[in-house]
Amino acid sequence: MKNRRIFLFAMVAALMALPSLTLFADDDKDDQEDSRFSAEIFWAKGHDHDRHARPRAATDSSPNLSWHGGNIMSSVLVTPIFWGPNWGSADFTNDKMTGLRTFYMDIGNSRYAHTSDEYTVANGVVTDTITYVQNFMDVSPAPSRGNRVSPILAEVCKLIQSPSANGYYPVYVDRPRGSAGFCAWHSAGYCGATPVQFAFFFNLDGDPGCDPEDNSSGHSQGLAALANVSGHELSEALTDPRLNAWYDSAGAENADKCAWSFGPSLLSFSNNSKWKIQGNWSNKAFNAGTGYPNTRGQKGCIDGN
């Protein structure tokens, strides 16, 4: 299902407690502030959130992405954060933490990472230069809901003492999705004066709404689900890191447009690790008629195979 750009609202208390943080996206309607900010949501299967889409221009019939003036990430340094007391338990962690480390170590220079390379702007071109830095783990309680951005940004700024402007900080909490209609999201903000890109992920163990139904890679269901949504959010962070670069006339980014649309076979990363990851939208493939169809039947998805 196509993801949609939704609006979240800033929370005064978070800013008062964390004066060094400048939010780029935040909170829910119950904590409404004057300014509105946006975050990109990866919706779970079965959730139709067309109401969150920005109005589509009446004269625009193309499904392709267009550039909206913002920068892309020509390279990225990935530092995953695992938040919550359950990450200290081997029974809970299973293969998830080590598997995601392998995922981020192997994705750079892969054919899958190359699927975003066509998106260029004045400051450069998206490349498949993706470098894993290290993991951080925080066993303090994580937020029980994923609808607020300020706690996630605060966690990033707390743990990352020297943030990088081309850093990407995916935060994996140990809490299940519950009744939330989404699997993950990505956003951006500042730690002090340094711009940062970050993302949020629920624990997806046993969650059919966020399950890619990977039956052949050998990964646990929980790892397979996190890997798929991790590929989605990383691809969007590369092409739309500040939420003002590449997306279509309805606000959908390159991974949104191919959400829950998979090619026929597993993807091979470096060191021969195998993953079931959805494709990304390619303007070039759609124009040439060489992509595979998304859930709307638009043939613009590619996954590197």
pLDDT by residue (tens digit) across 147-165? 889 999 999 999 999 999 9
Question: Does the residue 134 lie in any domain?
Answer: yes
SS3 79: coil
- What tens digit of pLDDT does each residue of 39-84 get? 677 767 666 544 344 444 444 579 999 999 999 999 999 999 999 9
Residue 89 pLDDT more than 60?
A: yes
Q: Residue 144: which pLDDT band, with cuts at 50, 70 and 90?
A: confident
Assign residue 57 a region (left: φ > 0; alpha: ψ between -120 and 50; beta: otherwise): beta
Say how far apart CA 282 and CA 259 lie, in whole Å.
13
Residue 117 pLDDT more than 50?
A: yes
Work out the burial of residue 41: count CB atoms within 10 Å of its CB; fewer than 13 is exposed, 13-18 middle, 19 or more buried: buried
Question: Does the residue 241 lie in any domain?
Answer: yes
pLDDT score, position 38: 56
Residue 123 pLDDT more than 50?
A: yes
pLDDT score, position 10: 27
Does 300 or 40 have the greater pLDDT score? 300
Average pLDDT for 267-282? 96
Give the lowest-confidence range in 101-110, 115-124, 195-204, 229-238. Answer: 115-124
Nearest to 173, CA basis, from 164, 158, 165, 184: 184
pLDDT score, position 46: 64
- AA letter at 46: G
Question: Does the residue 54 lie in any domain?
Answer: no
The label of the residue with tokens 């809490």 reads: 175
Residue 35 pLDDT more than 80?
A: no
Question: Does the residue 57 lie in any domain?
Answer: no
Question: Does the residue 56 lie in any domain?
Answer: no
Residue 36 pLDDT more than 60?
A: no
Instruction: Output the CA angle 195-113-271, nearest 5 degrees.
Output: 115
Question: Does the residue 265 lie in any domain?
Answer: yes
Residue 255 pLDDT more than 60?
A: yes
What b-and-e string marks burial along 256-284, b requiring 16 or more CB atoms within 10 Å of the CB? Answer: bbbbbbbbeebbbbeeebebbbbbbbbbe
Number of neighbours of residue 203 by Cβ within 10 angstroms? 22
Domain count for the chain, please give it. 1
Average pLDDT for 90-112? 97
Question: Does the residue 297 lie in any domain?
Answer: yes
Average pLDDT for 178-190? 94
SS3 146: coil
Residue 240 pLDDT more than 70?
A: yes
Question: Does the residue 62 lie in any domain?
Answer: no
Does 179 or 275 have the greater pLDDT score? 275
Contact 184, 202 (CB under 8 A): yes
pLDDT score, position 127: 87
The boundaries of the domain holding residue 77 are 5-47+68-302
Residue 125 pLDDT more than 60?
A: yes
